[in-house]
């Protein structure tokens, strides 16, 4: 499976259950599930899937919020050699139907709040033969009942191969073009193990991911616990007050939070009223983080911070800004706080031009990586796969430059780059500057057509609580820190910017919103 462990992901929980059956594995507000209990539940679910006619290479769609049995189903699916297809529950029924048709599902597991989606899925999946629900849906068996009906909880061992596709994850990323990413047993196993080397998590931890389980980061964080042997906190959905309560009680040792979620936790009343000595680390990523926000979080929580970066669905982790790097930055090299870190263990990384020629240090290029943690390809799309993976190197469209110490500084995505009068403008650079302004809570910089310059820069801003838009102040702030051609020509206040499930701004949706707002203002 990898040079770190020969254990297949499907067997991680069973391995720990043999040695430490009573060690906490999955923790909810109601109870703690041990490794022994979870292992037995996975094996019984695997036998239930077999009884329902689900086997190797069959595909099971999952449309539900986070739960213990969600993770049990993922592991049971791997146990029998099937492929799980997690759906973003925030999508509209027709969007789910589009993905379900592409996946050609043989099974669907959902919950009552999404019961209206089932007719759409059934209409486009003629091979659908297994249906179940995590909570009562008329006519559908309960997952819990299927599990309890199985008396044998001994290990299930269906022969599988490292390159078997165990997951298909549909993603629109920030470009708006949906893709079915095929992830193999090899990818899941290696990416989990090599990430644990860099994160350094301990077996006595209780960690939480604010990213939902249908997202690679959400299920991936629980996989870390399965592989390493520590416990994971399972909450139905992210709630900053509930999460802070777990931290306050000293039970939670770490979390993965997107910058917007970190901001939400810091805004919970009373967050500064106590110390948090049991909190070991907070990982963040998915979007640029303002230096002011990071300093505030460091002051309040006084723990290690880890900035993790990667094309998670297609290529897993690619770079990391470690706790040691944070200390170096705070000791006098504050500019490093704008870095996404250096390449992670086991990943070859280079910055390339459009012809995949490596660019010199200090010059912007596309992040290109090679490792055993990349996808098997895009579902039924060999042309797009060939464009993304060239001679084993994967290119996902992220742009960055590297300093002499090997630190990477993200400048944006190729599709987001603005070309103003022949000059390349990278939105992340401007967004990082604007996030330092006290009135800005979040910002997206996009290009807009201009007859003279070709494109000009416009900033869409979410204002901090109690702030009003002051375009002159924001422009002056930018002029002090940026070249003149990078300063936005307009600043627009937005109540809420579009984001995906992981908190990442969706530039493909923001551009049209900005264009519409500018058109409205011209008509006034």
Considering all CA atoms of the chain, what is the largest pairwise distance in Å, rounded to the nearest integer? 74
Task: Determine the number of helices (DSSP H) and then strands (DSSP E) in the chain.
Answer: 17, 26
- Looking up tokens 């399965």 gives 226
Mean pLDDT of the chain: 92
Distance of CA 364 to the CA centre of its chain: 24
Quote the CATH superfamily of domain 303-416: Luciferase; Domain 3 (2.30.38.10)
How many residues are listed for the chain in this entry? 524
Beta strands 231-233 and 254-257 are unpaired
Q: What is the pLDDT of residue 410?
A: 87
Compute the half-sphere exposure of residue 367: CA atoms within 13 Å on the CB side of its CA: 26
Architecture of the 35-184 domain: 3-Layer(aba) Sandwich (3.40)
C-alpha gyration radius of the chain: 23
pLDDT at 34 > cutoff 80: yes
Domain ranges of the chain: 35-184, 303-416, 424-523
Percent of the chain with pLDDT over 90: 77
The strand pairing partners of 209, in sequence order, are 256
User: Of the segments 135-144, 334-343, 475-484, 494-503, which one has the largest average pLDDT value?
Assistant: 135-144
Q: What is the pLDDT of residue 294?
A: 87
H runs (alpha helix) in 23-136: 35-51, 68-79, 93-103, 118-124
Q: Which residue has the higher pLDDT, 315 or 259?
A: 315
**Among 207, 195, 212, 223, which Cα is nearest to 11's?**
223
Question: What fold characterizes domain 424-523?
Answer: GMP Synthetase; Chain A, domain 3 (3.30.300)
- Mean pLDDT check: name the lowest of 48-52, 56-60, 423-427: 423-427
**Among 233, 226, 163, 228, which Cα is nearest to 198's?**
228
| DSSP 8-class letter at 360 | P
Q: Tokens at residue 468, please?
A: 């009003």
């Amino acid at each position: 499976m990898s040079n770190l462990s020969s254990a297949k992901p499907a067997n991680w929980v069973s391995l720990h259950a043999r040695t430490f059956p009573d060690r906490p594995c999955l923790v909810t507000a109601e109870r703690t599930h041990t490794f022994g209990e979870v292992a037995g539940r996975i094996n019984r679910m695997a036998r239930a899937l077999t009884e329902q006619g689900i086997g190797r290479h069959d595909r099971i769609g999952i449309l539900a919020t986070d739960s213990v049995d969600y993770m049990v189903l993922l592991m049971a699916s791997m146990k029998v050699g099937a492929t799980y297809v997690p759906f973003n529950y925030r999508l509209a029924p027709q969007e789910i139907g589009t993905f379900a048709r592409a996946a050609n599902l043989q099974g669907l597991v959902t919950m009552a709040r999404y019961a209206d989606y089932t007719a759409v899925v059934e209409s486009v999946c003629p091979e659908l033969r297994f249906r179940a629900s995590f909570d009562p849906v008329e006519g559908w068996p309960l997952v819990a009942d299927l599990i309890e009906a199985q008396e044998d909880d001994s290990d299930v061992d269906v022969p599988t191969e490292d390159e078997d596709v165990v997951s298909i994850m549909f993603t629109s990323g920030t470009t708006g073009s949906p893709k079915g990413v095929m992830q193999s047993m090899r990818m899941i196993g290696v990416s989990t193990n090599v990430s644990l080397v860099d994160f350094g998590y301990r077996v006595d931890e209780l960690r939480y991911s604010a990213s939902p389980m249908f997202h690679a980061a959400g299920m991936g964080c629980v996989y870390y616990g399965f592989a390493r042997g520590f416990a994971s906190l399972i909450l139905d959905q992210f709630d900053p007050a509930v999460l802070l309560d777990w931290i306050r009680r000293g039970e939670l040792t770490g979390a993965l939070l997107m910058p917007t979620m970190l901001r939400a936790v810091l805004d919970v009343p009373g967050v500064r009223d106590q110390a948090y000595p049991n909190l070991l680390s907070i990982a963040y990523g998915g979007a640029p983080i303002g230096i002011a926000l990071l300093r505030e979080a460091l002051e309040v929580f006084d723990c290690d911070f880890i900035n993790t970066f990667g094309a998670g669905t297609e290529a897993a982790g690619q770079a990391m800004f470690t706790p040691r790097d944070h200390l170096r930055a705070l000791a006098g090299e504050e500019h490093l706080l704008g870095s996404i870190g250096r390449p992670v263990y086991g990943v070859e990384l280079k910055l390339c031009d459009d012809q995949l020629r490596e660019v010199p240090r200090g010059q912007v290029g596309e992040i290109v990586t090679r490792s055993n943690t990349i996808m098997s390809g895009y579902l039924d799309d060999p042309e797009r796969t060939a464009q993304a993976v060239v001679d084993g190197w994967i290119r996902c469209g992220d742009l960055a430059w590297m300093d002499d110490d090997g630190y990477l500084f993200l400048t944006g995505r190729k599709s987001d780059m603005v070309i103003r009068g022949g000059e390349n403008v990278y939105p992340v650079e401007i967004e990082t500057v604007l996030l330092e302004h006290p009135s800005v809570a979040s910002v997206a910089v996009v290009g807009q057509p201009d007859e003279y310059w070709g494109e000009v820069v416009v900033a869409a801003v979410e204002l901090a609580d109690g702030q009003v838009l002051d375009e002159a102040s924001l422009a002056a702030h930018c002029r002090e820190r940026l070249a003149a051609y990078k300063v936005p020509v307009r600043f627009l206040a937005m109540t809420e910017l579009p984001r995906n499930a992981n908190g990442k701004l969706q530039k493909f949706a923001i551009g049209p919103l900005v264009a519409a707002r500018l058109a409205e203002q011209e008509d006034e």
